[in-house]
Amino acid sequence: MIHNDWDDILSNEFSKPYFKELTARVKEEFKNYTCFPPISDVFNAFRLTPFNAVKVVIVGQDPYHNRGEAMGLCFSVPKTVSIPPSLINIFTELKNDLGFEIPKSGDLTHWAKEGVLLLNTIMTVRMNQPLSHKGIGWQTFTDEVIRILDKKPEPVVFVLWGTHAKSKKILLSNPNHLVIENVHPSPLSSYRNFFGSKPFSQINQFLTKNNLKPIDFNLNQKDKL
């Protein structure tokens, strides 16, 4: 299904009755409604960030529900799409924290390839209906993914922005890991200490301290030439 080490790690989960019911429900939803992300992109986060490569987990809620925006990575949008407000705030904090200019694109594929698992806990949605797939089984699946990641012996940073993401802290108990909690970067809450929180430098300081290569958060391609 995923074509990397996640297939073996999640094989037991894929065989459970709830996941088979979830799969059938998702297929039915995509057949009868316009849903996002495209069915081929639903597991993008796992494909782009193999289990053994995960250094950071950013927890989102559900995909963007407007046409053309969702791409299977939380907060990320394709290069051709305008950058959503929450992501603009993330980029603003990135500039304030690490000094990188705000990118012209909201595509976070580079972060995923650097080892940042961009995980929406609800992985599909109907068009224009946020949280429409909340009760169909995705959260059972992604809660187990978070538990599995918590068991990694290598240090991992879990980034929990907003009430929904912070509710997942109960799944985390490994003292080897770092948990960063804050308000959601949306315009409704970002003014409450999101700006100035320096999550990106916290992540890289923790990784460096644990002898792991820091994440290259720079999304400006001209700086990579």
Average pLDDT by stretches of 10, the chain with 225 residues: 96 97 98 97 98 98 97 97 96 97 96 98 98 97 98 98 97 98 92 94 98 97 51
Domain residue ranges in the chain: 6-209
CA distance 86 to 96: 15
**What is the residue-averaged pLDDT of the chain?**
96
Please give the pLDDT value at position 190.
82
The class of domain 6-209 in CATH terms is alpha beta
Q: Is 216 a catalytic residue?
A: no
The residue annotated as part of the active site, out of 5, 7, 8, 62, is: 62
